[in-house]
Structure 1
Amino acid sequence: MIFYDCSTAPSPRRARMLIAEKGIDVEKHDVSLAKEEQLSAEFLAINSGATVPVLITETGVTLTENLGIAAYLEARFPEPALMGNTPDDKGAILMWTAIAEGQCGLAVAEALRNSNPHMKDRAIPGPENFEQIPQLAERGLRRIDLFFDKLDQRLQGRDFIATQDFSLADITAFVLVDFARVVQKRVSDTHPDLKRWYEAVKSRPSAQL
């Protein structure tokens, strides 16, 4: 398998953590988004969408989305299970993964890409250019606050977000919550249960990569 990564971006970090949690050996290539290597002809031949992560499977299939990569790796390497063993757990994990993506990941992206001067005309990832909309940045910041509130409430009396075990939902939420620092949103004592969970996941070896 071949894994196209970017050490500074949140999306490939999600796949990188999952790969590490499962102890999988893959061939890794770093793609510098800062240098716009994702827009090079060489990389566009791999993924015309100009995004990372990308996983080339053992049979040569190209996977370019985190959920697709996670589903493949879970099926190919079922232990430890990170997407649930029971129907209820599988549903809960995908539900909370979707909540984290929609309510935190998209919010951080809105806030960052619509305010950072280095992302002028790059408000949406991919090969096409889109102008920044400042109002979306303001909305994104508010949505991050709401997600922190929701996750703090969810984690009261719980060690993990979706089920009783560490899962893809925890990886997704941790990476996106951690990345919110780029728009000056950080976990603090105002969210004690969120902070407890955040520090616990942060201490895992996979989070150090």
Structure 2
Amino acid sequence: MRLYDDPIAPTPRRVRMFLAEKGMDIPKVPIIIGKGEHKTETYRKLAPNTRVPALELDDGTVILESVAICRYIEGIQPEPPLMGTTPKEQALIEMWQRRIEFELLLPMASVFRHSHPKMAALEHQVPEFAAAQKPIAEQRLALLDEDLARHEFIAGDRFSIADITAFTTVEFFCKYGGIPLPEGLDNVRRWRDQVAARPSAQA
């Protein structure tokens, strides 16, 4: 089993964090998105959608999409549980995971992809789209602060994949994506610092 991985991009990082939380270390093959290595013919044969990360199993099966990869890892290494143990807990974590992806990650990524100079070679940039997505991302950060006033972690009182997705999103796009973390979001900062202190955050 090996993971095709970019060391900088936030989506591959969440798989690395997930693996680290599980205490797993598997061989990694670097695919540098900034150099266009995900667009090469060799990688396309492995991942036709050119997405990174990709998990190649020993039997040659390739799993794409970071959450699908994490679900496989959760299946072969259930402890500690990061996707829930009861039907209710699993549903709530899935709900929060999807909300973070669609409501926070997507607009933040859109701002980055359509405004950052380094993305110009990889994207057909539409600056107007970036400008429209920025206030949406900022509004969702404010809502996240309200959410985290009610519970310690994203999906409740237990660390989960939803925290990994939110953390890697905030860490990358608030630093490099043109959406600095607004002042006054004390709950987000408390949560971010708490997650950053976990050993998996260094993975």
Scaled by the length of structure 1, the TM-score of the pair is 0.91
1:126 maps to which residue? none
1:11 maps to which residue? 11
CA distance in 2, matches of 1:52, 1:172: 15
1:178 maps to which residue? 171
CA distance in 2, matches of 1:194, 1:46: 38
- 3-state secondary structure, aligned to 1:45: helix
Are 1:143 and 2:125 counterparts?
no
1:203 maps to which residue? 197
Aligned identity (percent) is: 35
1:119 maps to which residue? 119
2:154 maps to which residue? 161
- Alignment-mate amino acid for residue 61 of structure 1: T
Are 1:75 and 2:75 counterparts?
yes
2:186 maps to which residue? 192
CA distance in 1, matches of 2:39, 2:51: 9
Bigger fraction of residues in helix: 2
- 3-state secondary structure, aligned to 2:46: coil
- 3-state secondary structure, aligned to 2:154: coil
- Greater than 2 Å deviation, 4+ residue runs: 57-60, 116-123, 183-189
Q: State the 1:157 CA deviation.
A: 4.0
- 3-state secondary structure, aligned to 1:161: coil
- Structure 1: runs of 5+ lacking an equivalent: 124-130
**CA-to-aligned-CA distance 1:15-67 (integer Å, 9 cap, x gap):** 11001110112111111112111111221111111110101124332111012
CA distance in 2, matches of 1:58, 1:153: 44
CA distance in 1, matches of 2:166, 2:160: 10
- Structure 2: runs of 5+ lacking an equivalent: none
Q: Answer yes or no: is the 8 Å Cα contact 2:108–2:179 preserved in 1.
A: no
Q: State the 1:112 CA deviation.
A: 1.1
CA distance in 2, matches of 1:9, 1:20: 17
| RMSD (CA atoms) | 1.4
CA distance in 1, matches of 2:108, 2:182: 17
Are 1:132 and 2:109 counterparts?
no
CA distance in 1, matches of 2:75, 2:192: 27
**CA-to-aligned-CA distance 1:92-135 (integer Å, 9 cap, x gap):** 11111111111111111211111123323633xxxxxxx22112
CA distance in 2, matches of 1:29, 1:120: 25
- 3-state secondary structure, aligned to 1:63: strand
Q: State the 1:163 CA deviation.
A: 2.4
